[in-house]
Amino acid sequence: MANPHFVTAMEPESVDLPVVGRAAENHGRFPERANIEFIRMNADDDVTMRVWERGAGETLACGTGACAVGVSAILDHGATSPLTVHLRGGDLTIEVDADLHVFMTGPAEPIFSTDIDPASIEQPAAIARRHERARA
């Protein structure tokens, strides 16, 4: 995975995520902090997880976290591929091959829509000018 993950077998539904997740994210073993996945193995090919993402807190889903869970489930818990990973935001299918290449399949669904007035967005040139003035 491109970012650090720590997967632990701890009951996802009963863990005090704001307390345990924050403490684990900021643990000294993770100098750049880490995403923390709490898992329960339901069967050899079925996992439930909750995720605490570094800098964001609990999120409904995390694709790289589900991939990390898939690898951990196979290496640490004897799981079989493909696996179904249940997240609060929906289910993902994770396939891990013999070389530990990971493939994720799942739905992509819009969860939010808005309109933004382009005039309300500061343009890159204006940002650069403001930084130049601040440095002078």
Query: Tens digit of pLDDT per residue, the chain (136 long)?
Result: 788 999 999 999 999 999 999 999 999 999 999 999 999 999 999 999 999 999 999 999 999 999 999 999 999 999 999 999 999 999 999 999 999 999 999 998 888 899 988 777 767 777 777 778 888 7
pTM: 0.80
CA gap 62, 112 in Å, rounded? 17
Residue type, 96: V
- Under CATH, to which class is 5-109 assigned? alpha beta
Q: Omega of the bond prior to 82 within 30 degrees of 0, cis?
A: yes
